[in-house]
Chain A
Amino acid sequence: MKRVLLWTPFALAALLLGLMLARLDAPHDETIASQWVDKPMPAFNLPPATDGIPGLAAADLATGEPHLVNIFASWCVPCRVEAPMLETLRARGVRVVGIAIRDTPKDVASFLSEYGNPYARIGSDVDSNVQIAIGSSGVPESFLVDGKGIVREQIQGVILESDVDRIVAKMKAMR
């Protein structure tokens, strides 16, 4: 008993240091994943983010067709990098809609004219309410939503070229 007690500090320290080593060894993922996957899109109705492109409502996502909902902003630098990938996805038959975060119609319009417009609809989420309601924590992010309006996947950060085939296949399968 006494011996156990005397070696307890050593054991506890070993545990703590082991934990620290494990943590150091596997740098943790710092992004916060949405818990809203496999849940229906919450009710929302966002006004158009810029002239000439309709806004976005939850009803637009429950039409029987799957959608890729892209959370973006004109002030977000990585979004510029992502724009060509979204264009590729659109060209391959993926329905891309956008939610513009904290943006103005003028900025959105110039962003689209400079980097292309893959979006069929863009809702303007000026105070991030819809973004928060689906558990998104930054821009850019994309949510794959099936034809019933249920969120099936969250993609955090920029969609890369290597992701395109998988996304196209998944969208087809969700049809």
Chain B
Amino acid sequence: MAKKQIFFLPFMLKQAREHRNSGAANTKTDFRFMLYKNNAKTLLATSAIVSWLLLLVYVLLTAESTVTGASVPSFAFPFLNNLLIVVFIVSVFLFQRLHTEMLKGMDFIGYLWNLFSRAGVAAYLSVALYLVYRVYTNYAEEESSLLLHLVYQVNFGLMVLFLGKAFYIWRQLLLYHKNKFLQIAWDWFELLLAATLLLTIFNFNYTSYVFLPLLALIGFYILFLCTNMKWVAYLTFNNKSRSLVLLGAILLSCYIFVRFFRAMANSPELVVDYTDVGFLLLAMLFVGTYTLAAFLVSLFSLPTSSVFEQKSEDLLNFQRLSLSIQQGQSEAQVYDMLVESTIKASDASAAWFEVVRNSEPQVTHLLNIKEPQIKSIRHLLQAYNIHNMDYINNNLGRNPGFRGLGLAWKSMAILPIKSTKHLSGVLYLLKDVEGGFDQETVNVLRTFTSQTTLTIENLRLVNESLQNERYKEELKIATQVQESLIPKTFPTDSWFEISTHSVAAKEVGGDFYDFLQLSESRIAIIIGDVSGKGISAAFHMAQMKGIFHGLMQQDMAPSEFMKQANSALSRCLERTSFITSALYIIDYRMKGFMFARAGHCHTLYYNSMMDNVFYFQTDGLGLGIIRDDKNYAGHIREMYYDYNPGDVMVIYTDGIVEARSPKNEEYGEDRLLYMLEQTYHLEADDIKYAIINDLNDFTGPGNLYDDQTLLVIKFRPTQPNI
């Protein structure tokens, strides 16, 4: 007894254990459900083992009693016997049902291998067991009824295991790509089959005429179910050959069990006969039929599998091509994919691909062909005036020109990668058979080329928009840099007011201004205008700001500053660029300011003492015009001026005075001077607003051609006591 347990137990327990392991790996799914499932499985495994053992004990006891002749007790409970059988079968089947539900995915060979290695081998074990039994009886020269019963019982257990496993693995495959109808059909099949167990419980003989039509009906039902094997189509040629071997082995397992139990059927030595269990017969019928059908379908679809493989590969390649846009692949990679896919799809014996750049072909891919051969073919095509055209020739031998080249190829396909206006490349495919490019192949090839055209076109568009985006981004950065270069706040003090206005015509302008507190009573203010616009202007602005802060740390006179700035800028400004600038150093302790003008607009000034508005007419050459230090020194003038409380200074760039009206008139210095004459008594802010409002009235809306900068400084009448 103990021996049998050892044989049987590890088999069950191993499955149960593996189950738990695979369950643990899958904790992503509902953990509680897993727990329930594991518990259910443990319960089912236990009930299977217990029922099997009880059945064994029962069978052995019955056999013992028939041998000794002391009859009766066993046949007193035929229902118990049948009940145990049903419990065992149900437990094993339910266990396998739960077990196979874990299997997922498209690894069909994995399913088959699982079935064979876990269950199919049971048949071979049962054969071995039976052989051992026969050898033993031959050796011992006596028939042992008990031993026979034991072997029979073990084989029964193994068969049920095999059937359960096979049944549910076939279910998994049968329901692959299922629809609702198939699912319902299968559920009914399972129910019907389960119902036949009732026959066993109530000990009906299923072979009776009452049930035969019903059984026949189920048989047809099984045949119908066995037509569902879509999974076979997904096997590649190699997988099909492997599955044939596995299916053959499983078929053999079926045969062994059938053979064994048929041989033992109605044996007078045995007290039980499991062929009486209609359920097992039907399950075996299903498993056997499905295995046989799968075997035959695999066998006969073997020659056509390469076609399906090609089709599914074509499909995958299409997918890769269209995905390549999202994956940011380059044109070269797309062409790689095209050449590889089309050669495979057409089974071409030679091919080349040329990229067309500036209408010059440039061979990038070669297969089984040499440059001179390409050259001669290209010459011929040019002579016929069919180069770079969609062209298929399936009988090159008939063409005298091509025959003259003495090349081995018999058919040829030319496929240009061409959008409506742009030819990006041409694909040439050659085959050494006549009629190599049939309509079906050409259709696939054209689909590839049009997909490639689309991909290339899209890649270009994506690149262009990226470039545009990058340019905009750069401009945005330049604008930010420029904005950061212009001070947001001026120092406020009781002795002067300052108000500023600044707008850029384009994203990046060339105007700038800045200030630096030189000492407690002195402040330097600079204004400037860089010739040109855009990013280079922003760069020069940054340079100018650097020069201003660098040089003014040494606290120098404005004219000296201009000389040194000219010298510094001469070394870095391009030949056509220059900068105009004006620098003011205001000293409120001395109540005066010193300034120098380097080509910048004249300073507008209101003198409160004389009640007079005027421009300071001083000479001064722009920076970067004369790039020779000594020469420049003669072109810069410095001026000192004492201011009075109430005086107003207006500093601006040419964008103000050169602003134009819709009639193309310039705003001009005169109008600016007139504006100050009208407004000098106002606060600095109000003077500024008055001028800007007048300017905007003059130009009209949306008429900004140049950057505009305006600084209004008003010296306050009330001076602080220092």
Task: Decide whether A and B assemble into one complex.
Answer: no
